[in-house]
Amino acid sequence: MDPMSFILFGATGDLAKRKIYPALFNLYMDNKLPEAFSVIGVGRESLNKKEFQSTVIDSLYEFSRHSTDDKAKKLAFVQKLSYVNVDVTDEESFNELKAFVEGQEEGAGLGNNRIFYLSVSPALFDVITTNINKSGLGDTSGWKRVIIEKPFGHDLKSARALNSTVLRAFSEDEIYRIDHYLGKPMVQNLETLISANPVLQSIWSNQLIANVQITANETVGVGTRSSYYEHSGAIRDMVQNHMLQLVMMTAVRMSERQSVSELRDEKIKLMNAIEPTSPEDVIRAQYTRLTIQDETIVSGYTDESGVRSDSTTDTFVAARLQINTPTWQGVPFFIRTGKRLRSKETKIVVEFKDSLNLSQNASDAAPNLLVIHINPNDGVTLQLNSKHPLTGELEPIKVEFSASHRETPEAYEFLLADAIKGDPTFFTHWDEVELAWQWIQPILEQFDSNTIPLHYYQAGTNGPEEADKLLESYGYKWW
């Protein structure tokens, strides 16, 4: 692996503490970082090196998968960390940052390879990338890459504007747009699961699949993020990115992948083939408070701090998608995601068609289901029909694999390791982002015009009944 400098904007932020430092440390402990590297935290707070290192150590204690007991190793990692106080709106600050990065590179023999991680509000992408460009920080004799967090735009227009801004400093193949769902172990495993198992590969099409249901339910509410969420809602926060990525990762049919770009190319083709969705096929809803005997147990969305009392922001979205390719023609893909639901669960359920020649108990047969569990535990379940030994009746049985006993790396570990290696497979290409916004845009407009009405569901339930009715109208139910 090439030596590199990892320059992290937003170094004192929440994401850095919860995800980025622990991921870097875990990679370090697993010998998955280059021999020579340096992490340069960039932030507004004025911190000295020691203070910065101790905030990172705190985050490792709290969030790292690897224990921090090995003092020598922990110290060796922490010594790679330094901090520069930068006002990102000030060009002069970037000259100082550049001088600092060059000093580190010379001192530690780091070559001239630089990763810039923008863990900051998207409102700052413009000024940061412009100043990276102007200061010459982006002129390297080695490689440079930029990692960008979502949200990538607020709608189609702003996403395009943002993209052209970032393209002024980095080319498309230097841009690594993070969708952390693509780093989840079971999502990374999907392609292998389908293509390395002839038994699944041969049935992965509309010949045998009746429908696909993708669920990403959360129990948490909007928490302290209302100022962001009020402008985003579930449609931008989850559907535009994570849910559509799960649809594409499920629908992609790859046998032996030849090059890193192939998976993304396939996903782009699929995204292109998703038909515009009619308003009847989209359900939007918002959670209301849960009260027991007049006592509020869980706040409703409009009770949350920072949320307007007449807010119509969606905290739940369900939809039917149709992918217009020979493989998927006629197979509805149902998605649903929401906050303050009964349980935290992310899964993909593939429901198979009824058998053609079921014998006597045909009407009692449950459908075959393949469930890919993504969260809270990784695993796969296959539901089959079996004969009960005593009654002779059909009964559904489950063949299960659970990876919960294994220690699996976090999404950010996979993604950072890939970015450091220069493998963009599990990052979103601009074409995917743009197509996703193109698909979402009419829905956003139908939300605004109330063509898609806002429904309500009580906190702690499975969501609005309209989401159940959506499936019923196609002759299915949510699994």
Nearer to ligand BG6, 53 or 346 (CB): 346
Interacting residues of 218 by C-beta distance below 8 A, sequence separation 6+: 337, 338, 339, 340, 341, 344
Q: How far apart are CA 123 and CA 113, in angstroms?
A: 26
CB of 237 to ligand BG6, least distance (A): 5
Nearer to ligand BG6, 137 or 222 (CB): 222
CB of 433 to ligand BG6, least distance (A): 14
Q: Is 422 annotated as contributing to ligand binding? A: no
Q: How far apart are CA 87 and CA 381, in angstroms?
A: 51
Residue 266 interacting with ligand BG6 (CB under 6 A): no
Residue 218 interacting with ligand BG6 (CB under 6 A): yes
Q: How far is CA 200 from the centre of its chain?
A: 25
Residue 428 interacting with ligand BG6 (CB under 6 A): no
CB of 40 to ligand BG6, least distance (A): 26
Among the options 154, 231, 242, 455, which is catalytic? 242
| Number of residues engaging ligand BG6 in binding (CB under 6 A) | 4
CB of 20 to ligand BG6, least distance (A): 15
Residue 237 interacting with ligand BG6 (CB under 6 A): yes
Query: Is residue 429 annotated as part of the catalytic site, yes or no?
Result: no
Nearer to ligand BG6, 237 or 351 (CB): 237
Residue 105 interacting with ligand BG6 (CB under 6 A): no
Contact characters 174-213, ligand BG6, x per CB under 6 A: ----------------------------------------
Q: Is 467 annotated as contributing to ligand binding? A: no
Residue 375 interacting with ligand BG6 (CB under 6 A): yes
Q: How far apart are CA 478 and CA 386, in angstroms?
A: 22
Q: How far apart are CA 107 and CA 103, in angstroms?
A: 6
Integer angstrom CA distances of residue 347 from 81, 189, 373? 38, 13, 5
Contact characters 124-163, ligand BG6, x per CB under 6 A: ----------------------------------------
Q: Work out which of 346, 368, 383, 428 binds ligand BG6, going by CB under 6 A.
A: 346
Residue 413 interacting with ligand BG6 (CB under 6 A): no
Beta-carbon-side half-sphere exposure of residue 76 (alpha carbons within 13 Å): 12
Nearer to ligand BG6, 48 or 305 (CB): 305
Catalytic residues: 242
Q: Which residues bind ligand BG6 (CB under 6 A)?
A: 218, 237, 346, 375
